[in-house]
Each structure stands twice: as structure tokens, then as C-alpha cells.
Homo-oligomer: A and B are copies of this chain.
Amino acid sequence: MKHFTAPSDVPSVPELVQKALDVKRNPRRYAQLGNNKTLGLFFFNPSLRTRLSTQKAAQNLGMSVMMMNFNKEGWQLETEAGVIMDGGKAEHVKEAAAVVGQYCDVIGLRTFAKLENAAEDYKETFIQQFKQHAGVPIISLESEIRHPLQSLTDLLTIEDYRIRKNHTQKPKVVLTWAPHVKALPQAVPNSFVEWTKHMDYDLTITHPQGAELSTEFTEGVNIEYDQNKALQEADFVYVKNWSSFANYGKVIEAPDWTITAEKMALTNQAYLMHCLPVRRNLVIADEVLDGSQSIVIEQAGNRETAAQAILQEILLHLNAGESLSDLSESLII
């Protein structure tokens, strides 16, 4: 695995989930693998779980971490080609990526959707430009439209629970929209659907009319507009708000969609998942979040495991490349 920005970067999603489970069972196996390697973590937006879990994962592998809040500690970057840069942006992403790529062995990058123009956001410009110009592996710490570290965590969490609970039949997994007061990106649900498609799950998405995700992600997936019907017999309920894709970036009002104990009672004693941060009693009721079926905290803890699995794969790939070039050099001699 060279980059980690979407399932298309990964040879096999189920195998990667298996590797992440191995990391959870044996976290210190590769404690020296990252020695003398540096991970740069560059944030264009706020972060708590991603920042801390990825830093911790890198340290578990012996890597050094360099962290930077780009817009606040540095300056804004230009992404358009050919423009005369006489406005507010001090540096072009071409130079910024190429320069930091010289100081880092691996780069993690977070850039949220602006939610003003779908076509712009859905290009994932920063990630693509860093892939093109940085010359080192790029890890998405959440792009405008994808959050793959979260999705790997989600699959790891589901598989871990299935093993621990001896749950061998095909699970019914429901991704349900829930209310929010702010316009949130579609990155988490997009990615959850994109990754879950690679697993042998019975996946249903439920949301109000008008909350359809981009068909780029949902094509072929079962959509049920009746939340109560969707929740029936669910084994895992993944709760998340997102803003409208069709009416791009607009807040959707549907206050009845809050996840309550009553709704969870429709499920097959489903485990409750959420990527956090979660607004209590707006997205999910206290009674559910604090209930015995809520696994949101352990899910967040698994962020460290997922990040470590990804860094391990990338470091093993880097080292294999180095060994290969060492080999070819010695063959020349």
C-alpha cells in the first residue's frame, strides 16, 4: 500500500481489516518499525481523535511526528494552476507539498469540505495535489468527501464485536441519518458506505427525503426512507448527521430522527456506533449513548489501532522498496 485515501488504494479491504485486528491483539509487534522515520500531520481544520490517535499510533511504531496547523501556524495555499498569485494566498500547493515531502517520510492531511460547491469539494484537490507533488505516501486524515481512517476503524469495530460475541451470520448494518444544527460534511457516511461495500454485510441506509448521498457512493446500496422500518432487526446501527448533497451543504430539518431508546428497541439489540463528536439529545439520546449497547467509546479507541495498521502497512511497503533498491545497488556492484 503506497497511499491511504480510499479503498481503491488498498489491495483487499477484508485483509486490511484482518491486519488491523492483528494490531489490536499484538500492538507492540512492530515497535521499532518506524525508527528514524518521520510522519508529518498537517491540519487545515480542527481535530481531536484523528490528531491524537494518529500521533499515538506513530509513536507506538517508533516514528517521530511533526504536527502543524497549516492555516493558523503557516498560511493559506493556492491550488489553482496558472493563476497570478496577487491575492491572499502566500504559497502554491505545488511548492508546499514538494517541500514538506522532503522533510517527511509519510504525510497525513486533513481538509474539510467548504460545502459551497459540490463539484469543487468532490475533487479532493489537496489530497490529489499532495499525492502528485509530495513524493511520499499520503494518508487522508479526512478529506472533503472521505474519512477512510474512520471507516477502517468502523469495520474493525464491527468485526471485533462479531468475533467476541460469536456473531457468525451476515450482520444487518444500518447507517441512519440523525438531526444536527450545523451543516456537516458527507465524508463519514460516504466513506462508511464505500468501505462497507467490500464486506459481506447486509447494508441499509436510512435518511429523510432530500438527504440522499451522492450516487457515486450509494449506487447499488439499499435505501429505506422509513427509519423505523430500516432499524428492524439491525445488528449494528451507525448514526451520523450530514448536510444535503442535492441542495449542497444545506441543513436538513427532521427533528424526529434523533436516535432514542424506543427506536433502538426495534433492532436486534443492535450495537450503537458513532464517529464522535456527538451532540447528546440532538443526534442520540442520553439513554442510548449511556446504555449497554453503545460502543462509541471503544470505537473511538480503535482509531489508534486503525491508524497503526495503516502506518505499519505503509512502513513495510517503504522498507520493502528500500530493501529492493539496496539489492539492486548491490547487484550493480
Contacts and interface: CB of A to CB of B under 8 A. Distances in A.
Contacts of A40: 52
Contacts of A46: 73-75
B66 A47 contact: no
A280 B85 contact: yes
Contact of A55 (B66, B98, B286): B66
Contacts of A254: none
Interface in A149-192: 181
B86 A59 contact: no
Given A95-B278, A277-B75, A102 B48 contact: no
Contacts of A289: 95
A206 interface: no
B280 A100 contact: no
Nearest to A182: B90
A2 interface: no
A291 interface: no
Interface string A261-294: 0000000000000001111111000100100000
B95 A296 contact: yes
Given A51-B73, A286-B82, A38 B66 contact: no
Contact of A95 (B38, B59, B87, B297): B297
A20 interface: no
